[in-house]
């Protein structure tokens, strides 16, 4: 017989002001790998299979609430009007706690690197009989952290740094802050917390001693320090970015992509690289990029919101902006920018072009310096280039305009009217030729110059 699945409520504390960021933005809206800190925490909880999420935000933080709802649409938002400690913050979600759940997970929005498996392990400790499970780590420098008080196998208390004795401060096993509480006891334990301590705060950590006093059991789980690190300033933000980049790069490589110089490749949380993709050094992936199998991203390219289909080549020095869709085996060369445009299979845009708001047919060839003139200062217009068309070097295509399939546009043309399929369009000044003109011109000018000097 299998047990029915346990239900879980996650309470995410996001009420920090984060003054040490020295920012107009609230701390939890700062980003790593292209996603907000609170977004990472909520996504990991969702991946860990929690049933309900409550987010506790500071007063007038509609921006944080909006971001939370964007990532977890069913999250309920609670406001902590004044900061009176982590237990006080959790209790702002009283309405959700009263509805009950088998497990209550408490997470910090400024601790973005916790893996779903770690949240699941905390819940497993409850399923195994603990009433409280706290996440800890061996701190390289424990200053400032709460210390785990462990007796034998059991966690018997957590003492905050400011309240710790000299002997307790020698303990290096520290509290990461995250906790799982048995739903049956969560409200009782939280309501029993007082503020008789150095900071006159209601400490979440006091639920451990509270549980032990009631004869309930508490357990400590340990995680690597790099996973539990919190972000309080921009130096820690960069450190968290480094950790998540390493994770994302290793995942991409394990899934079959070659990163020649991994440390120089910046990935976003959702970057998807297929098998046998090759990424050369100095490439930036903003959010929303998919690179299909066998495609190559050459050095120093920048991609965001783009799809690169199987076997295509991009760069070096290319920029794919949102809506760029590069077809199978197509080629986007150096100093080419593509935005909101589908480039057909096998098409080539090899040098120095801007292709925006456009469709380029399969096997079309777009010469160096071709520009789609898609904007008149007010609205955007589309350019459609048919299959197999050839657009000569340095042509301007003034949208809205259509170049028919198989058509040929002469170099240096400014195309303002549609071009029929399989026809030739040349729209430039006609070349004139005057034999001997240059020689005569030079002679005349040299004479003029000589006269002027005297
Ligand atoms: C907390 C832990 C400490 C642990 C450390 C890990 C407590 C009492 N202490 O300490 O044992 O080692 O985290 O980093 O839990 N928050 C609110 N409202 C409040 C207070 C805090 O929402 O009134 C949020 C903060 O925004 C933050 C989190 O709770 O996300 C932790 O609060 P913080 O003040 O940073 O706790 P620490 O003193 O660092
Ligand atoms: Ca902290």
Q: What is the DSSP string of 233-276?
A: SHHHHHHHHHHHHHHHHHHHHHTT-EESSGGGEE--TT-EE-TT
Q: Does 205 sit in the ligand 1 pocket, CB within 6 Å? A: yes
Q: What are phi and psi of 236, to 5 degrees?
A: -70, -30
Instruction: Indicate if the pLDDT at residue 250 is higher than 70.
Output: yes
Is residue 97 in contact with ligand 1, taking CB distance under 6 Å?
A: no
Residue of 108, 142, 193, 239 with the most ligand 1 atoms within 8 Å of its CB, for mutation: 108
Question: How many angstroms does the Cα of residue 220 sit away from the middle of ligand 2?
Answer: 19
Average pLDDT on 365-386 reads 98
Over range 131-139, report the average pLDDT.
98
Q: How far is the CA of 200 from the centre of ligand 2 (A)?
A: 16
Q: Which residues are catalytic?
A: 351
pLDDT band at 320 (very low <50, low <70, confident <90, very high): very high
Q: What pLDDT shows up at residue 3?
A: 72
Top mutation candidate among 81, 82, 86 for ligand 1, by most atoms within 8 Å of CB = 86
Stretch 332-345: mean pLDDT: 98
Find the ligand nearest to 229 CA. 1
Listed by start position, the domains of the chain span: 8-222, 238-425
Residue closest to 184 by CA, chosen among 121, 127, 122, 100: 100
What CATH number should be reported for the domain whose range is 8-222? 3.90.550.10
Looking at residue 46, what is its pLDDT? Answer: 97
Atom of ligand 1 nearest to the CA of 58: 22
Instruction: Please indicate whether residue 230, judged by its CB atom, sits closer than 6 Å to ligand 1.
Output: yes
Res 420: pLDDT = 98
Query: Is the pLDDT assigned to residue 409 strictly greater than 80?
Result: yes
Please work out whether the CB of residue 34 comes within 6 Å of at least one atom of ligand 1.
Answer: no
Average pLDDT, the chain: 97
CA distances from residue 342 to 17, 239, 332, 356 in whole angstroms, order as listed: 44, 37, 12, 9
- pLDDT given for residue 453 in this prediction: 65
Q: Is 15 in the pocket of ligand 1 (CB under 6 A)?
A: yes
Give distance in angstroms: CA of 345 to centre of ligand 2. 52
Q: Which CATH architecture has domain 238-425?
A: 3 Solenoid (2.160)
pLDDT for the residue 454: 60
Residue nearest to atom 32 of ligand 1 (CA): 86
pLDDT confidence tier of residue 367, bands split at 50, 70 and 90: very high
User: Nearest to residue 289, comparing CAs of 315, 309, 263?
Assistant: 309
Examine the pLDDT at 2 and tell me if it is beyond 90. Answer: no
Beta bridge partners of 302: 284, 319
Q: What is the mean pLDDT of residues 111-116?
A: 98
Task: Please state the rounded mean pLDDT for residues 155-164.
Answer: 97
Q: Which ligand is nearest to the CA of 146?
A: 1
pLDDT at 181: 98
Reading phi first (left if > 0) and then psi (alpha if -120 to 50, else beta), residue 287 is in: beta
Give the distance (Å) from ligand 2 centre to CA of residue 219: 21
CA distance 417 to 270: 41
Confidence band, pLDDT 50/70/90 cuts, at residue 91: very high
* pLDDT (mean) for 371-395: 98
Q: Which ligand is nearest the CA of 80, by number?
A: 1
* Proportion of the chain above pLDDT 70, given as a percent: 99
- Structure confidence at residue 13 (pLDDT): 98
- Following DSSP, what letter does each residue of 13-29 receive, concatenated? EE----GGG-SSS-GGG
CA of 238 to the centre of ligand 2 (A): 16
Give pLDDT, residue 18.
84
The H or E element containing residue 366 is strand 365-366
In this prediction, residue 1 carries a pLDDT of: 57
CA 108/CA 118 separation, integer angstroms:
14
SS (H, E, C) 202-221: CCCCHHHHHHHHCCCCEEEE
Integer CA distances (angstroms), 303 to 190, 296, 322, 439, in order: 47, 13, 8, 52
Arithmetic mean of pLDDT, 359-386? 98
pLDDT, position 153? 85
- 230 alpha carbon to ligand 2 midpoint, in Å? 7
Q: Which whole-number Å values give the CA distances from 132 to 2, 180, 199, 214, 314, in the listed order?
A: 23, 6, 23, 12, 52
User: What is the per-residue pLDDT for 451?
Assistant: 83
What pLDDT is stored for residue 4 in this prediction? 75
Partners of 402 in the β-ladder: 384
Taking CA atoms only, the protein residue closest to ligand 1 atom 1 is 177
What is the pLDDT averaged over residues 279-284? 98
| Pocket of ligand 1 contains residue 92 by CB under 6 Å | no
* Segment 98-108 mean pLDDT: 97
Q: What is the pLDDT of residues 11-20, one digit of tens each?
A: 999 997 789 9
13 touches ligand 1 (CB under 6 Å): yes
């Amino acid at each position: 017989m299998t047990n029915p699945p346990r239900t879980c409520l996650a309470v995410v504390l996001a009420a920090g002001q984060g003054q040490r960021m020295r920012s107009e933005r609230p701390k939890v809206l700062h980003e790593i790998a292209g996603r907000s800190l609170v977004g990472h925490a909520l996504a990991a909880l969702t991946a860990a299979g929690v049933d309900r999420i409550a987010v506790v935000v500071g007063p007038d933080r509609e921006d944080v609430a909006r971001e939370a709802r964007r990532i977890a649409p069913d999250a309920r938002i609670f406001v902590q009007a004044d900061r009176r400690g982590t237990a006080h913050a959790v209790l702002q979600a009283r309405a959700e706690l009263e509805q009950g759940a088998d497990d209550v997970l408490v997470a910090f929005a400024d601790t973005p690197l916790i893996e779903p498996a770690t949240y699941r392990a905390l819940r497993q400790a409850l399923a195994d009989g603990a009433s409280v499970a706290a996440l800890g780590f061996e701190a390289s420098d424990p200053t400032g952290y709460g210390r785990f008080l462990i007796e034998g196998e059991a966690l018997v208390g957590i003492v905050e740094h400011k309240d710790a004795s000299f002997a307790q401060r020698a303990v290096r096993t520290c509290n990461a802050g995250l906790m799982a509480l048995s739903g049956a006891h969560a409200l009782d334990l939280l309501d029993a917390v007082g503020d008789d301590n150095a900071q006159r705060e209601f400490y979440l950590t006091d639920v451990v001693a509270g549980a032990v006093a009631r004869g309930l059991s508490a357990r400590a789980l340990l995680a690597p320090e790099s996973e539990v690190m919190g972000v309080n300033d921009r130096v820690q933000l960069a450190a968290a970015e480094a950790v998540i980049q390493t994770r994302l790069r290793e995942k991409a490589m394990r899934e079959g992509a070659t990163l020649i110089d991994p440390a120089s490749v910046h990935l976003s949380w959702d970057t998807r690289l297929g098998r046998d993709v090759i990424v050369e050094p100095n490439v930036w992936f903003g959010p929303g990029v998919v690179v299909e199998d066998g495609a190559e991203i050459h050095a120093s390219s920048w991609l965001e919101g783009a799809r690169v289909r199987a076997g295509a080549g991009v760069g070096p020095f290319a920029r794919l902006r949102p809506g760029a869709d590069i077809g199978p085996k197509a080629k986007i060369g150096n100093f080419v920018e593509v935005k909101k445009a589908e480039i057909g299979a096998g098409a080539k845009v090899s040098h120095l072009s801007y292709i925006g708001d456009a469709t380029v047919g399969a096997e079309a060839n777009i010469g160096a310096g071709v520009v789609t003139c898609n904007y008149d200062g007010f609205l955007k217009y589309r350019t459609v280039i048919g299959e197999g068309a050839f657009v000569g070097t340095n042509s301007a295509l003034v949208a809205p305009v259509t170049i028919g399939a198989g058509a040929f546009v002469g170099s240096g043309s400014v195309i303002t009217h549609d071009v029929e399929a399989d026809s030739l369009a040349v729209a430039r000044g006609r070349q004139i030729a005057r034999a001997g003109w240059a020689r005569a011109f030079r002679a005349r000018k040299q004479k003029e110059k000589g006269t002027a000097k005297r």
